[in-house]
């Protein structure tokens, strides 16, 4: 829609105000009027006009004083002012110039000249304001904690601010980003996750649906995992389309979310067994008809004491855990031989027996770059999620990819994933319910936690519906420790 310029007419002669209003109304202006100087100042504050048509001689404050007042106010000092003067009033023109008037129009008015002056000066004023706002925006972007880039249709970076240069390691190399694509530059230092979403990240559907995108630098011995969230906005002008990409550091948010889920996981399962014992003992105590029999009472009380004691020990363990430097395990690796034992523990906790672990490799001495504690959370969350979606059979296949990555494939026969959720299951922010309770529609927080733990260690997560029937396959890749990778042999096949 075409912009409608706002014109303020200031004149103490009502006939002049009416004639100017009638003349300018044909030009699609929004007209405001004032009959004196003080009224003019009030109207400027109320309407912030694009142009002021200002008479000189008025009761109270004259036109020169109004002009001086506006020029001394930072908010309105740039508003264009056209002063209405007599045909040969040279003295008034000189005073007007000193007061800050932009242009003059003489009585009687020439309609074409007046309209041309207003059009020209209002456009100059708008351009001046646009340029001022652009400078403000450039300053804000240049000093932002977020990285901002503009990407063209060839995936070339045509603009990036200082923080984006920091994130992409382009400081001191101004030509580097002009000779390569954005994705190539990003993947030099980061893993693009989820990979499926990055494959068509500039598509209209991905931008419209705000598909979550992350650049992840895996955890190292000396540094924690680093997460950048990439948000994309499409810019279309005529036949040219560009994309604005905002890179935001969300490492703390994702770490906090993951730690919270892990703590909830720990509390739920560490307290479960001793609480059950205590509860059962108290229930038996309350229902036993021979409660007065000392022997049985002693046995029941003893059972309660045992359960309470175990609960106390577990609570102390959790307090120590919470007070540690980090809720994340500091272990760098685990034995692959521990995986079947973890699976057995998960089966016991979830009261299921339909999990099978098979292997295409010999992994007696193999170690992978993730802690046993984190692997326990990963396997539990994946299996619990499959159970939630009606799986009655789960096969965990262990294999090796290229001799450097261990692959875990969790294949189940549960409900398939709805298409609309496929790109959101790994998202640490995916939350469908109104109130955050940890139980959400769809995949839930479990798989988001899995992704965080795997990505932290430089691993890869994939999920898909099965091609060979009803169900879902979750595929995880972990880095094999360099020493055990050399010793591993893929020629031996055996099953657990």
Predicted confidence at residue 235, as pLDDT, reads 85
What distance in Å separates the CA atoms of residue 109 and residue 95, rounded to the nearest whole number?
A: 21
Q: What is the Cβ-side half-sphere exposure of residue 479, based on CA atoms within 13 angstroms?
A: 18
Following DSSP, what letter does each residue of 366-402 receive, concatenated?
A: -EESS-HHHHHHHHHHHHHHHHHTT-S-EEEEEEEET
- Is 462 found in the same domain as 353? yes
User: 186, 168 in Cβ contact below 8 A?
Assistant: yes
Tokens coding 118: 């207003």
328 belongs to a structural domain = no
Tokens coding 266: 């720990």
Helices (H), 407-493: 445-456, 482-487
Predicted confidence at residue 436, as pLDDT, reads 39
385-388-389 Cα angle (round to 5):
95
Backbone angles phi, psi at 211, to 5 degrees: -60, 130
327 belongs to a structural domain = no
User: In this structure, what CATH number is given to the domain that contains residue 49?
Assistant: 3.40.50.2300
Q: Which residues pair with 83 in a beta bridge?
A: 54, 104
What distance in Å separates the CA atoms of residue 273 and residue 267, rounded to the nearest whole number?
A: 11
179 belongs to a structural domain = yes
Predicted confidence at residue 118, as pLDDT, reads 87
Q: Is the pLDDT at 327 greater than 50, yes or no?
A: no
Task: Taking residues 456-482, report their average pLDDT.
Answer: 89
> What are the counts of helices (DSSP H) followed by strands (DSSP E) for the chain?
15, 19
346 belongs to a structural domain = yes
Predicted confidence at residue 10, as pLDDT, reads 93
In whole angstroms, how far apart are CA 264 and each of 38, 260, 268, 438? 66, 6, 6, 9
Q: Is the pLDDT at 398 greater than 60, yes or no?
A: yes
pTM, 2 dp = 0.55
Predicted confidence at residue 139, as pLDDT, reads 87
- Is 485 found in the same domain as 404? yes
What distance in Å separates the CA atoms of residue 243 and residue 149, rounded to the nearest whole number?
A: 8
Single residue among 249, 282, 309 that ends a domain in this structure: 249
User: 193, 451 in Cβ contact below 8 A?
Assistant: yes
Q: Is the pLDDT at 477 greater than 90, yes or no?
A: yes
User: 41, 70 in Cβ contact below 8 A?
Assistant: yes
At 160-184, the pLDDT tens digits run 998 999 999 887 666 667 778 899 9
Neighbours of 123 (CB within 10 A): 14
What distance in Å separates the CA atoms of residue 97 and residue 286, rounded to the nearest whole number?
A: 98
pLDDT band at 438, cuts 50/70/90? very low
pLDDT band at 39, cuts 50/70/90? very high
pLDDT band at 51, cuts 50/70/90? very high
- For 116, counting Cβ atoms within 10 Å of its Cβ (0-12 exposed, 13-18 middle, 19+ buried), the class is exposed
- For 445, counting Cβ atoms within 10 Å of its Cβ (0-12 exposed, 13-18 middle, 19+ buried), the class is buried
Q: Is the pLDDT at 30 greater than 80, yes or no?
A: yes
Domain that holds residue 430: 334-495
- Is 26 found in the same domain as 172? no
1 belongs to a structural domain = no
- Is 135 found in the same domain as 81? yes
Task: Taking residues 352-359, report their average pLDDT.
Answer: 92
Q: Which residue has the tokens 């879902």?
A: 472
- Is 184 found in the same domain as 71? no
- Is 397 found in the same domain as 308? no
User: 281, 273 in Cβ contact below 8 A?
Assistant: no
Structural domain count, the chain:
4
Q: Is the pLDDT at 8 greater than 50, yes or no?
A: yes
- Is 472 found in the same domain as 374? yes
- Is 282 found in the same domain as 162? no
Closest CA to 477 of 461, 494, 496: 461
User: 52, 79 in Cβ contact below 8 A?
Assistant: yes
Predicted confidence at residue 395, as pLDDT, reads 95
281 belongs to a structural domain = yes
What distance in Å separates the CA atoms of residue 148 and residue 439, rounded to the nearest whole number?
A: 34
- Is 212 found in the same domain as 162? yes
Helix (H) or strand (E) holding 164: helix 162-167
pLDDT band at 434, cuts 50/70/90? very low
What is the b/e burial string over 293-324, where b = at least 16 CB atoms within 10 angstroms of the residue's CB? Answer: eeeeeeebeebbeebeebbeebeeeeeeeeee
Neighbours of 169 (CB within 10 A): 13
- Is 373 found in the same domain as 277? no
pLDDT band at 325, cuts 50/70/90? very low
User: In this structure, what CATH number is given to the domain that contains residue 210?
Assistant: 3.30.450.20
What distance in Å separates the CA atoms of residue 305 and residue 137, rounded to the nearest whole number?
A: 67
User: In this structure, what CATH number is given to the domain that contains residue 373?
Assistant: 3.30.565.10
Q: Terminus-to-terminus CA distance in the chain, angstroms? A: 70
* 3 state SS of 101: coil
- For 413, counting Cβ atoms within 10 Å of its Cβ (0-12 exposed, 13-18 middle, 19+ buried), the class is middle
* 3 state SS of 230: strand
281-283-285 Cα angle (round to 5):
70
Q: Is the pLDDT at 496 greater than 60, yes or no?
A: no
329 belongs to a structural domain = no
Closest CA to 156 of 176, 178, 175, 184: 178
User: 379, 343 in Cβ contact below 8 A?
Assistant: yes
Q: Is the pLDDT at 316 greater than 60, yes or no?
A: no
Between 124 and 347, the more confident residue is: 347
Range of lowest pLDDT (66-70, 123-127, 291-295, 357-361): 291-295
- Is 53 found in the same domain as 74? yes
Predicted confidence at residue 266, as pLDDT, reads 65
Single residue among 322, 355, 371 that ends a domain in this structure: 322
What distance in Å separates the CA atoms of residue 428 and residue 62, rounded to the nearest whole number?
A: 64
- Is 80 found in the same domain as 209? no
Predicted confidence at residue 244, as pLDDT, reads 92
379 belongs to a structural domain = yes
Looking at the chain, the whole-number percentage of residues with pLDDT higher than 70 is 79
Single residue among 191, 215, 249 that ends a domain in this structure: 249
């Amino acid at each position: 829609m075409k912009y409608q310029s706002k014109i303020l007419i200031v004149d103490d002669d009502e006939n002049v105000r009416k004639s100017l209003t009638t003349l300018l109304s044909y030009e699609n202006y929004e007209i405001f009027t004032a009959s004196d100087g003080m009224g003019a100042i009030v109207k400027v504050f109320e309407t912030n006009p694009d142009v002021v048509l200002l008479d000189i001689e008025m009761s109270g404050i004259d036109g020169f004083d109004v002009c001086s007042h506006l020029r001394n106010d930072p908010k309105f000092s740039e508003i264009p002012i056209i002063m209405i003067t007599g045909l040969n009033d040279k003295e008034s023109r000189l005073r007007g110039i000193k007061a800050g008037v932009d242009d003059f129009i003489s009585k009687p008015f020439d309609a074409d000249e007046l309209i041309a002056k207003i059009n020209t000066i209002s456009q100059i004023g708008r351009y001046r304001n646009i340029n001022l706002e652009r400078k403000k925006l450039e300053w804000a972007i240049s000093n932002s904690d977020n990285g901002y880039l503009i990407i063209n249709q060839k995936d070339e970076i045509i603009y990036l601010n200082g923080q984006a240069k920091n994130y992409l390691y382009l400081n001191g190399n101004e030509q580097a980003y002009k000779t390569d694509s954005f994705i190539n530059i990003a993947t030099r230092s980061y893993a693009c996750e989820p990979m499926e979403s990055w494959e068509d990240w500039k598509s209209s559907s991905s931008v419209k649906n705000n598909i979550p995108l992350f650049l992840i630098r895996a955890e190292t011995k000396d540094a924690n995992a680093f997460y950048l969230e990439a948000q994309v906005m499409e810019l279309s002008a005529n036949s040219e389309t560009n994309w604005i990409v905002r890179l935001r550091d969300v490492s703390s948010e994702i770490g906090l979310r993951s730690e919270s889920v892990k703590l909830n996981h720990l509390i739920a399962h560490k307290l479960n067994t001793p609480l059950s014992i205590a509860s059962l003992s108290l229930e038996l105590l309350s229902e036993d008809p021979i409660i007065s029999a000392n022997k049985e009472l002693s046995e029941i009380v003893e059972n309660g004491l045992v359960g309470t004691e175990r609960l106390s020990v577990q609570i102390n363990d959790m307090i120590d855990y919470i007070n540690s430097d980090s809720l994340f395990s500091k272990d760098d690796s685990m034995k692959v031989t521990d995986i079947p034992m973890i699976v057995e523990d998960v089966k016991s906790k979830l009261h299921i027996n339909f999990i099978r672990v098979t292997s295409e490799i010999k992994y007696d001495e193999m170690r992978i770059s993730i802690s046993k504690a984190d692997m326990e959370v990963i396997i539990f969350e994946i299996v619990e999620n499959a159970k939630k979606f009606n799986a009655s059979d789960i096969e965990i296949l262990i294999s090796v990819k290229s001799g450097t990555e261990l692959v875990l494939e969790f294949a189940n026969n549960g409900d398939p994933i709805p298409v609309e959720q496929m790109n959101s299951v790994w998202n640490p922010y995916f939350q469908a319910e109104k109130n955050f309770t940890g139980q959400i529609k769809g995949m839930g927080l479990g798989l988001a936690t899995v992704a965080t733990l795997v990505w932290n260690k430089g691993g890869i997560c994939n999920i898909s519906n099965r091609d060979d029937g009803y169900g879902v396959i979750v595929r995880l890749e972990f880095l094999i420790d360099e020493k055990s990778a050399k010793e591993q042999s893929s020629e031996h096949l055996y099953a657990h």
